[in-house]
Structure 1
Amino acid sequence: MKILIARMNHETNTFSPVATPLEAFGRNGPVHGEDAYRENKGMQTAMSAFIDAAENAGAQIVTPVSASANPSGPVAAAAYDAICNAIVDAAQGCDAVMLDLHGAMVAENSNDGEGDLLERVRAALPGAPIAVALDLHANVTQKMIDNADVMVSFKTYPHVDMYECGAHAARLFFDLLEGRSRPVIAWSQPPLMTHTLRSASAAGAMKRAVEAAQAAEREGMLAVSILAGFSLADIAKPCISVVVVGDGDREAAARVAERIGRQIWDEREEFLYRSPSLADSVAEGAALALDADKPVLLLDHGDNCMSGGTCDTMDVYEEAVRQGMTGIVMGPICDPEAVAKLMAAGVGATVTLDVGNKLAGRAAHPHAPVALTGVVRALTDGEYVISGPTYTGQRAYMGRAAVLDLGVAKIVLTERTHEPWDLGVFESVGIDPRRATFLILKSRMYCRPVFVPIAKGLVECDSRGVTSSDFSLFDFGNVQRPVYPLDADVSW
């Protein structure tokens, strides 16, 4: 048995001005062959689980590519073609395929990145079983469903079950190969664009939907996935989906998909997030800090790295300073121009320069850069190893990094957009985040498993960035209407 195993991950925010060339996939682009194997073996990705399962089965493994990039704007056509071609070209002579995909990729030359890839793989290997692991925020399409035999998504957000998802898909895949089951896929898709802050799996309607999925699996379905979708993609249907893998009975699977889809639709209001004003959110954070001996987290979800944010809006910082806050640690702020100037100045230098709002200035709601004067405290290569629980053990690359000390605040500036996965974002540049009064993070969820345990509390702050929960800021021209909440009168 010769099995093709590959990874292609990108969540595309079509409103983001952050470019996605081939170099964005990894440190300096995707890795191939043995390097793709080594990048995933022993890690916590779905591809890692695929490799383990295939090796345990004694299969021959082909790993043509591992390509993962932070969420950003549409993937460059050349980058998309290069990754897809690496997978399709390697299919010749293979007996089966397991793919670790995100499910919400939009490229310059494809509005359905995963669906178009799967269609090509199916054409290259007619009849070969194809298993797919997806992110919980995948935008599922009919083309994806039609060209997969097994489809399973993460059940957690923040995502801490990537490996488990891959192991689940691999188990069904080998059951299919060895004749122990006959997977069939059914799905439903209510016309509902969810807010990412309401897709957390530990609370509310999303928790109840995941629990319904788990109950259906206990009652006999091979896999049931709740995919919240990624609504900041101006495509036909960036909507929530329910994907059910049944054992030979497609009608039974369809009934489960319809029932859980109807549950989600009936609770649709709970999938929407209503933001308070930025001033009110920051004031709430100030009140929390009055008797705190731990940092207060100010989460700038309007400029969230892992939804395609520019990571350079300065709204929350400016409002915090306006309200008289001190003891601020903020970052990472993506500003390659500022990093270059700080590198040239050197540690210990006092520097005045414009910071932030440079990429944000190209978005629909521009801001002016902020003039700051401070002392350069640290300069590094911006690399560290993630301690977990998300992507445990993987090396993280922020690009070159610098610390600018303003007195009231210390700002970590980087050359790349970067999610604060880990305390290493700050510790790698000599800052102990536990000693801050306020931590301003460009994050919605992924920071929480690491930073919440060291914090007094957290406040969600909605800047007018390209990942805002206010859909009125965005011009959705390609979405099929009516759809909730863009339209009030929607039936399903």
Structure 2
Amino acid sequence: MKFVIALIRHETNTFSPIPTVLSDFRRGTGEGPAYGEAARLACEGTKNAATAYLDMAREMGAEVDFAVYASAVPSGVVTREAFEHLCDAVVRSASQGCDAVLLDLHGAMVVDGYPDAEGELLRRLRECTPAGLPIGVSLDFHANFSSELIRNATVIAGYCTYPHVDIYETGERVARSIRAKLEGRSDPVLLWRRLPMLTHMLRQTPASQPMKDIMDRAMQAEQSDEVCNASIFGGFPLSDIPCAGLSVVIVAERDRLQQGQKLLGDLCDLAWSRRADFVFESGSVPESIAHAKTLKDGPVLLIDHGDNCGAGGVTDVMDVLEEVLKQGLQDVVAGPFWDPATVATLFERGVGAEVTVDVGGKTDMPALELKGRPLRLSGVVERLTDGEYTVTGPMFTGVRQSLGRTAVLRVGSVRIFICERPQEPYDVGVFTHAGVDPAKAHYVLLKSRQHFRAGFGPFARHVVLVSGPGVCSSDYGLFPFKQLNRPMYPLDADATMADGESWIPAAA
């Protein structure tokens, strides 16, 4: 028996000004994708879904062709050249013959010419493989769906958490269902519905309402064998594509299809009835920082969610840090901010140097008519590092990461981390690798949205959400949507469930 395994992940913010090229798809600290044995070694020992595939292959004594390991930080549209290269690697392996294809994908990758890149990959795989070949797909909670992806997969399962701390377990769910199919114990059918609603990412997490009991119901149905798999996808709302929105995917046994259809309807009805609860109301930056200043017990997490590279932000918008300094907050750890040019200057000056530098603000964001505005800072170069660390927290545990060269600039009692590579701070390693313990600071300023809760949540006394500017803004009215299917709630108050899309195969 032989399995083809591939990991290709990118969450595309179509409003980001930074295109995503092949070299952006890395495997931890390396440059560019990994293939074959190098891909397997990059995956082993981590909490990726593809690692669960490797474990199943080992249990079944199956040969593995690990076609590619390629993961890029969320950013702008992926170039066609990069996509063709990655797609060809998987198609080439699958076309040489296998018993199943097991994919660890994101589900919100947009390529120049392909708004549903994962759907296009699945279409090509179906063209080059025998009819009925099992194709299992694990997807991020923020996946967007077209029918192309649904009708060409055999099994789909999505993360049940946000922050995503069940990535390996999602791979296990896919692997179990594919194994049952291979062993003749299951005849799965995919059911899907996408609702015309853009849920705000700060209101999506299954850890709390309004999503919690929707996800709980789906997980209960799967665990009780009511269906094979049940997944709720909050969707990625910062993509101007026709297939953005909240989706529900059910994998049902063919002979119990009605149960799957009923569950699909129940989950969609519940989500739609709560659509107003998925809207996040933004506040002003000065008001948020002033509130934080009144909180005497630390650490206080200041979450700049409008410029979060975990959702495609450039991470060089300086407005929130500027307000922190203006209002005189003390004992602050902040960052990491993306600014390779300033890093080069600080490395040239060296540890201990007193410097005045213009940090960040080097990227314009035309989609939102935002101009880059650097922040002039005077301080001391406190530390210089290679920016490398291994994730120890619950999200992507064991993965080796790199911020590129990283400098710590101390301005009074504010330590500012400046790096060569953007990285969302979901793990304390972004700071501790430089000898700075964020748990001992009174304030920790992070460019994040929800993932910070994985590594920083356990020691936070307070969390203040700060609606800074950027291409990750929670004010969807700022975005010039042109390709999005309309009507779409909350952009259109008159949207109805009938404005969505669904898929139930005719053969069912």
Residue of structure 2 in register with 1:447 after alignment:
452
Runs of 4+ in 1 over 3 A off after TM superposition: 249-252, 360-363
Q: Does 1:255 align with 2:259?
A: no
Q: Distance in 2 between matches of 1:425 and 1:5?
A: 30
Matched, 1:162 2:128: no
Question: Using the alignment, how far apart are the partners of 1:17 and 1:353 within structure 2?
Answer: 24
Structure 1 residue 452: deviation in Å?
2.1
Contact 1:185 1:250 in 2 (8 A): no
Partner of 1:15: 15
Identity between Structure 1 and Structure 2 (%): 45
Q: Does the residue aligned with 1:204 lie in a helix, a strand or coil?
A: coil
Match of 1:43 among 38, 46, 62: 46
Match of residue 275 from structure 1: 282
Segment of structure 1 superposing worse, 387-396 or 318-327: 318-327
Is the contact between residue 11 and residue 105 of structure 1 (CA under 8 Å) also seen in structure 2? yes
Letter paired with 1:111:
P
Residue in structure 2 matched with residue 358 of structure 1 by the alignment: 362
- The secondary structure found in structure 1 opposite 2:397 is coil
Confirm or deny: 8 A CA contact 1:187 1:254 kept in the other structure: no
Structure 1 unmatched ranges of 5 or more: none
Residues 71-99 of structure 1 show CA distances to partners (whole Å, capped at 9, x for unaligned) of 11111211111111100011122221110
Distance 1:129 1:367 in 2: 48
RMSD across aligned positions (CA)? 1.3
2:502 aligned residue: none
The 5 Å alignment of 1:278-427 reads 278-288=285-295, 290=296, 292=297, 294-360=298-364, 364=368, 365-427=370-432
> Displacement of 1:454 after TM fit?
2.2
Report the alpha carbon displacement of residue 131 of structure 1 after superposing the two structures with TM: 0.6
Q: Give the paired residue count.
A: 489
TM-score (normalizing by structure 1): 0.97
Which residue is equivalent to 1:465?
470
Q: 1:238 maps to what in 2? A: 244
Counterpart check, 1:75 vs 2:78: yes
Deviations 1:17-66 (A, max 9, x none): 23311111113111000011111122111100011011111111110101
Q: State the AA in 2 paired with 1:25.
A: F
Q: For residues 110 and 163 of structure 1, what CA distance do their matches in structure 2 show? A: 28
Distance 1:360 1:463, change over 3 A: farther
1:5-154 pair list within 5 angstroms: 5-26=5-26, 27-91=30-94, 92-127=96-131, 128-154=133-159
The separation in 1 between residues aligned to 2:354 and 2:402, in whole angstroms, is 26
- CA gap of 1:334–1:322, structure 2 versus 1, over 3 A, is same
**Matched-pair contact (CA < 8 Å) for 1:187–1:258:** no
Which one of 475, 484, 487 corresponds to residue 482 of structure 1? 487
TM-aligned CA distance change 1:269 to 1:175, over 3 Å = same
Q: In the alignment, residue 270 of structure 2 is paired with which amino acid?
A: Q
204-213 or 426-435, which deviates more: 426-435
Q: Work out whether residues 318 and 373 of structure 2, in 8 Å CA contact, stay in contact via their aligned partners in 1.
A: no
**Residue 174 of structure 1 aligns with which residue?**
179
- Cα 1:48–1:14 shift into 2, 3 Å: same
Q: Name the residue aligned to 1:434.
A: 439
Offset at 1:251? 4.0
Q: Is the 8 A contact 1:3 1:59 kept in 2?
A: yes
Query: 1:481 offset after TM fit, Å?
Result: 0.6
Distance 1:120 1:237 in 2: 19
Structure 2 unmatched runs, 5+: 498-508
Measured against aligned partners, the alpha-carbon deviations of 1:470-489 in whole angstroms (never above 9, x if no partner) come to 01111100001101011111
Q: Is the 8 A contact 1:360 1:465 kept in 2?
A: no
Q: Separation in 2 of the partners of 1:54 and 1:434? A: 40
